Amino acid sequence: MRADCPDLTRPFLAAEHDRDEIRRLVTEGLLHRVTGRVHVNPDVPDTLAGRAHAVRLALTAPEVLLARCEVTLLDRVVVAFGTAAWVHAGGGPGPQEGRLDLVIPPGSYRPALPEVVLHEHRLGDRDVERLCGLTLTTPVRTAADLARTLPIEQAVAALDRLRICCGVRVVDVLDQLDRMPRCRGVATGRAVVHAWAAAIASAASAPLG
């Protein structure tokens, strides 16, 4: 890389002029792509703070910031769905399919942004939290959103990561879904949570060894 090469001890935003070299390093397994132009050295420990830093970098990339708007995207979005689950609990090299899932208030301007999926929802105060400089859905709200939108096997795996890493409980996710009667997929979400509960019970009753 050039003399202005980034700090490889944490996720970094690759410069546009380095994209060919970055692509080569990814191909050789010397870097992992998180999302957009955010990359990380595979030797860097996977931590909550590091994952949050990676998402903050992705949101401040020039191609994502809304310079032409009164308020930047970073100021008005909530990190949610698969991206929030990754920040909370890890589980892979980066956000699902390299994209950022973000929630904006209903009726907001919705620009077309590379590798960004904008969801319109009205979130309550108990649905969000500030964590390592990000505003994101809580682990319980994140679990409810994934339960109602992901295929069942993916959803159960994601919910179990949130259970192990964040202490999310079946009863809390069901309560969350009860508070979201107008959201799409709530009935499906309940069925997924019951399947997850059954998987937890099955694992607990399995003989050791």
pLDDT (tens digit, 9 = 90+) per residue, 105-161? 888 777 777 778 888 888 999 999 999 889 999 999 999 999 999 999 999 999 999
What pLDDT sits at residue 130?
94
- Cβ atoms of 101 and 79 within 8 Å: the answer is yes
What pLDDT sits at residue 152?
96
Average pLDDT per block of 10 residues along the chain, 209 residues long: 67 85 91 88 92 89 54 73 95 74 83 81 93 94 97 96 97 97 94 97 78
What pLDDT sits at residue 14?
86
Structure tokens at 60: 């401040």
What pLDDT sits at residue 67?
41
What pLDDT sits at residue 8?
79
- Its pTM stands at 0.88
Angle ∠(66,69,75) on CA atoms, nearest 5: 65
b/e code 43-68 from CB counts within 10 Å (16+ = b): eeeeeeebbbbbbbbbbebeebeeee
What pLDDT sits at residue 3?
44
What pLDDT sits at residue 123?
92
What pLDDT sits at residue 61?
74
What pLDDT sits at residue 70?
41
